[in-house]
Structure 1
């Protein structure tokens, strides 16, 4: 059964779902609030374990490998720059790592012939009727679709319109994260540096683009009041929480003031009793945001594949498809949320003693004797089994 399906969000999950649904013959529209394809804040994402099979099945693995960051190990340093320990590349970079913006572009390019993309618009109203979903857009138009899927991230507009206010479902982990690009004046070549003080984390890394580096900040804090559209206020929050920090923090805070591409948000998780209601479903961070280390990108792409596959098997019975999609995905999501809940404490330990214990542990795990075990442990959380053999079309050939 062919359906008209609206997807909100052109990040990772949205284009992945658009690809599979379009290949199945559905009429797919993707609406994205940004006027252009988002760069994703410059953050890198990685794939490992069973996730690699999904990339092959979708036909994007070669493109991802062609744009991989090639990141090596990252060194934890003290205030003078002296190495304290090393985080092996497998910890952050998996089997293949790519900048999020590059991945979003690849997924868009693979899906743009399968769907209509509308940039610079957003959903403002959703009303379900017996025969479909009436949707209002910010540009003043209305349209009706068989299904609506919210793949619009942690701060999902679809979830807010249909399920309720975000604060009903968001669980903050007690940390905030910021990242932005800076000129690579640090001599970094496919590697990174990490500096810690209790409750604070500063990082610099440079991968595929030798001219630029990414600066990252993570800090423990009580909930911060700010307007998500007020970039100056967000910069002020970061500067305030890192005032007086050592190493090269002052230099990076100075660069922050002129950074045009700041990404700033809380480390939070989304917990919902269900991911669909009627003809409206949720995908990716809109449904289950786990936070760093929670396989967010891999799960968004697997969720898209699973939802499309269940719709194909159910032949138009969207209620059954939504139920089976959630049954298939929820065990892995709950596992990842549990794992990712400690990401802030790992990256920015609260005390000097905790920092020392973490660094000592990684000196041991990164030794030649235990490196193989460390690699297996790092991949274990990503393994959810081979993607189910849904009757989905093979990737289009060039």
Structure 2
């Protein structure tokens, strides 16, 4: 696996009971996954020679991020390395302009959008629709709210063009809420779909995920799952695909969905599956890239809530950790081995049960207590 973050850490954990030997290419020995994987290469994923040496002897190469240069992945495939997801698919997660063009050909619903050339062109794009504000996204390199700007004036638009990459303008969607449809697809076309979840964002970062999305109709849920499965098939995705969605209302008030982003790897909106589904997203990602039969994605309980744990002003979380475990023995805490810094994603908690209000309160209390924003 290329990338040593928490996604690699949790993927390695899922591979242990499957008997999978796991090799990691990590930026540093201190990265989250590098702390727990025995076979670690420290190196630059942007260097082709490093990638070639790392991949030698591996059955499959996969990723915990989408940043490996596509031309390097094509070179590895030419060398005979099995890359999953492959570069033809992964390019659509790396490049938002390419993604929007391909999704349009598939017929996937999306916000109004086009590539813009400068701040004046942003204003023209806005005037073609409902005016400002609009959203600007760098075509490449953005994640967790980075590379995204809400623009209310031409002056606001200037930062987006400083990166020197194409800029995509999108209408600012008046959405009801954000959803995510997580699916997994194997090389021979077997695919599974997890329940559609509600994803709550705070300052551009996923804060809470509720599985399944409360109040989502069976019809719209099935439409979202089918859309994600169609995208996975049409793009040739092998492994886990997260399709981030906006739920909106059309002119007559009927609920609809629009595609916001794609991620071709395990995803924050699927962390609830570690404790809340029969087979986690991490285990199914491994099964898919190794072309093993996929596992059951169905939930174990009526409701599961995941809350991210962000770093606060207290670098030592151990006392809070003890408190949360003692207060709620059913709580599942997953820490990533990261140094605690304010606002940094250092772990997550999962709760599950039959009463949604109780499950949400338990997750929220634990995440806030671990961060230090509450003390009782």
Q: Which has the higher helix share?
A: 1
State TM-score, norm by structure 1: 0.29
State TM-score, norm by structure 2: 0.31
The structure showing larger relative contact order (alpha-carbon pairs under 8 Å, at least 6 residues apart) is 1
